[in-house]
Chains A and B, each alone.
Chain A
Amino acid sequence: MTQDNRSGRPQGRPPESDSRLSRVEAQLRGPFLLFFVSAVVWLLVASILGLISALQLQGFGGLLNGEAFTFGHVSAAQHNLFIYGWAFNAFFAINLWLTSQLGRFELRNAWLVTLGALVWNVTLTYGVLSIFAGDLNPFSLLEMPRGVGPVLALAFVLAAFWPIVAYARRPTGQSFASQWFIVGASFVFPLTYLLAQLLLLWNPASGVVQAIVHSWFIQNLLLLWVGGSALAAIYYFLPKVLGRNITGYYLATVAFWTFFLFAGWTGSASLLGSPIPLWVQSVGVVGSAMLLIPVIITALNFHGTLSADGGWSRAWNSTTLRFVCFGAVAFTLSGLINALFSFRGYNAVVRFTSFGVGQEQLLTYAFASMVIFGAAYFILPRLTGALWPSAKLVHLHFWATALAVLGSVSASLVVGWQSGNQLAGASGLASANVLFAILFLVGHVAFALNAFGMILKSTAPAAEGRHD
């Protein structure tokens, strides 16, 4: 199955392979499922750790004995697993699938991707075990020992370089917004990660430069890699499932460039009031405010597309779009809140409170994770050739995660605002957090049961479809 395929699409069935898969999808089925299964496993582990840390805050410290399971270790491991385990693996898979589909790219070196996936996950496991062993750095999301950094970067290149290849080799000169965001995100992460590693762990910069570099890294990671990948998925699934063009699509170019231009400047807004030069702080404020431009454009694109012709109700009735639209609304909200609360007056109130936790959760969960779920509901049935085993579990998954993230984010934001205003300790949050952690866990277990059930069911036909 190699020739005859440069210009025309295969007109019949792809020869000698799983008859139900297109050639493009048959190639990346293996790596996709490997990434995806790892992602879901890490998500489950992270949600269990999240529940444990919520219980620990509630006073059940004796739940797990020993120094390894103190709150600091558990919470750091949970944070790292959620981002590097769940979000990264999931976006490796989704980005690869999206760019292959859009560029008609046949992945010929699937073993390199598989190698990347293995290295990534083995290194991550080692890094998280090191966190439990107490070998951790003081920088959020860079806690893993410094030796892990270069290996992860290498694995990232192996795993996530393919969207760039797919883009470079696209058969026509045309391109689509999803491709831009994915290519941009795939370039940004390894560069910022290596630079942050260098300036913080290997050759530490002096004094306050470390804080600036760290905030810059966090914003690049969360906004450009996680956020950019999720935006790409929204740009794809809205027109794809609704069968409709993106409203005001010509503005998407502006959204792309302004997003990548300003996102990296927003970091120092989180350092307002600290002893870094005033102009660096102000640049952060301006960056966060200017980030409203892509937020407004994507809002016009997404919500405009959805508003026409009963789009919202159709979206609500499609499992994929229900999740994806949840994410789209969350992104708009997150952009508005980030801009508003980077201003000095408001920022002074919410600084050092749970507000920041709520902001990050709004971005990484309500926006990015919900988009990942939506994408999974679309892609997995195509790759496995099986149906989702249980509709009830799908509903349970949506309502558990949606309610949990709504409750958790609004509790963090409201309590953060209140305690900032009163300079009083947050009360009531800890017990509610246990409830939300349980809800998250329930939703994730429902999702995992469904997904694993489907993947297992399809193992047989897939195995014969992939060898070539």
Chain B
Amino acid sequence: MNDSNRHPDNNRPRRAPSGAGSDGLSDGRLVEVHSQLAREKEEPAAGFSLTPIFVVFLFCGFGFWAGLYLTRNSGNFAPSAFDLDAPKLPAGGEVFVFEPSAEKGQVLFNANCAACHQPTGLGVAGMFPPLAGSPWVAGNEDRMLKVILAGMVGEIEVKGAKYNNPAGMLAIGAGLKDGQIAHIATYVRQAWGNNAEPVMDTKVAEVRKAIAGHKAPYSPPELLKEHPLGTK
């Protein structure tokens, strides 16, 4: 029984082919040595490796971080919380307050708008009007919100240049939430040198309700009549 632990399998003639390497350890020896290593720790000696203690601290750090991360990014484990913007459940009478964020807006803009208006906000000549420095997105926010929510078709003049994309702008906002549109509008109004006030989600909800009967996309003249450029 004791001897069965040690069985150098020396009965196998070595036929190491070119490149296959030599058998450094027999299989029995390999198992035996390593299970010993797993049982017994190294003797403390000069030059004792600091690796184990470092590893222990590192892994404890991982565990700590994991707890923090889960607490902060799990929306209180609510089954209805789908993204980081989700309203927090009222805990201790705390009411969720929306804060328009240009940072979140940038992510949403890049995902939903940048294909035409470009990440630079400069648009494409003749096709997609620029947003950077455009008076259309400054001033009264109703104008741009209506475009986002209902779309717009027709020739439009921005900063002296004419743009006309036959398909017009689709009603992208119809599929987005109020808060998401507020983030996007805030980003557009504050990026690339634009300097207009942020937009709240309540404002988006208000406009969405107001234009509920307006199924068709807006045309530029119609929109300018409702909200002339440069007005507040």
A residues neighboring B (CB under 8 Å)? 7-14, 20, 22, 101-102, 104, 171-172, 174-177, 236, 239-246, 248-253, 273, 275-279, 281-283, 285-286, 289-290, 292-293, 296-297, 300, 318-321, 344, 348, 377-378, 381-382, 385, 387-388, 391, 394, 422-423
B71 nearest CB neighbor, chain A only: A282
- Once the chains are docked, how many angstroms separate the CA of A2 from the CA of B81? 64
Q: Place the interface of chain B in its size category.
A: 35 or more
Q: Does B24 have its Cβ within 8 Å of any Cβ on chain A?
A: yes
Chain A residues with CB under 8 Å of B23's CB are: 240-241, 243
B20 and A377 form a contact (CB under 8 A): yes
- Once the chains are docked, how many angstroms separate the CA of A273 from the CA of B86? 12
B139 to chain A, nearest CB (A): 28
**20 extra A-B contacts, CB within 8 A, seeds A176-B35, A253-B38, A423-B110:** A8-B7, A10-B11, A11-B11, A172-B5, A172-B32, A174-B35, A239-B34, A243-B23, A243-B24, A248-B51, A249-B34, A277-B79, A278-B73, A278-B74, A278-B81, A282-B74, A286-B70, A292-B62, A293-B62, A391-B18
For chain A, what secondary structure do more than half of its interface residues adopt (helix, strand, loop), or is it mixed?
A: helix
Q: Which 4 A-B pairs have the closest CB atoms?
A: A243-B24, A319-B19, A279-B74, A318-B21
A5 to chain B, nearest CB (A): 11
Most chain A beta-carbon neighbours within 10 Å: one of B21, B66, B79: B21
Chain A residues with CB under 8 Å of B110's CB are: 423
A22 and B34 form a contact (CB under 8 A): no
A-B contact pairs, 6 of them (CB 8 A): A20-B15, A176-B35, A177-B34, A286-B66, A320-B19, A381-B17
Chain B residues with CB under 8 Å of A276's CB are: 82
B23 nearest CB neighbor, chain A only: A240
A275 nearest CB neighbor, chain B only: B82
0 or 1 for each of B111-139: is its CB under 8 Å from A? (1 = yes): 10011000100000000000000000000
A282 and B55 form a contact (CB under 8 A): no
A319 and B28 form a contact (CB under 8 A): no
Given A172-B4, A240-B25, A283-B70, also A296-B55 (CB < 8 A): yes
Chain B residues with CB under 8 Å of A422's CB are: 119
B179 to chain A, nearest CB (A): 15
B108 to chain A, nearest CB (A): 10
8 A Cβ contacts from B39-66 to A: 41, 49, 51-52, 55, 58-59, 62-63, 65-66
B34 and A321 form a contact (CB under 8 A): no
B106 to chain A, nearest CB (A): 11
Contact of A282 among B7, B35, B73 (CB under 8 A): B73
Chain B residues with CB under 8 Å of A296's CB are: 55, 58
A239 and B24 form a contact (CB under 8 A): yes
- Once the chains are docked, how many angstroms separate the CA of A253 from the CA of B34? 11
A224 to chain B, nearest CB (A): 20
A237 nearest CB neighbor, chain B only: B21
A247 to chain B, nearest CB (A): 9
- Once the chains are docked, how many angstroms separate the CA of A12 from the CA of B16? 20
A315 nearest CB neighbor, chain B only: B21
A285 and B30 form a contact (CB under 8 A): no
Given A252-B38, A300-B51, also A243-B25 (CB < 8 A): yes
